């Protein structure tokens, strides 16, 4: 038996994504090549405040909506 865990499936903006078990929200964003400083995240229907990102761990079937923050006028 090996110690490598099977990846889990989550949905990001309606698209299935795989990530390692234990992946936190910031790790997932980086994996998806998104800048965590420039996005807002809805996690399973709830806005996740940035202070909770490091403790938000992805679980199979989670649904995320990620919106890029764009500056300008």
Q: CATH number for the domain including 42?
A: 3.10.20.30
pLDDT tens figures, 12-67 = 999 999 999 999 999 999 999 999 999 999 999 999 999 999 999 999 999 999 99
Q: Who's near 67: CB < 8 A, 6+ residues apart?
A: 39, 40, 41, 42
**Does some domain include residue 2?**
no
**Does some domain include residue 73?**
no
Range of the domain at 30: 8-68
């Amino acid at each position: 038996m090996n110690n490598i865990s099977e990846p889990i499936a989550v949905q990001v903006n309606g698209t299935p994504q795989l990530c390692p078990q234990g992946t936190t929200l910031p790790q997932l964003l980086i994996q998806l090549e998104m800048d965590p400083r420039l996005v807002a995240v809805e996690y399973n229907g709830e806005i996740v405040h940035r202070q909770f990102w490091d403790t938000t761990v992805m679980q199979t079937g989670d649904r995320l909506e990620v919106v890029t923050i764009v500056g300008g006028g």
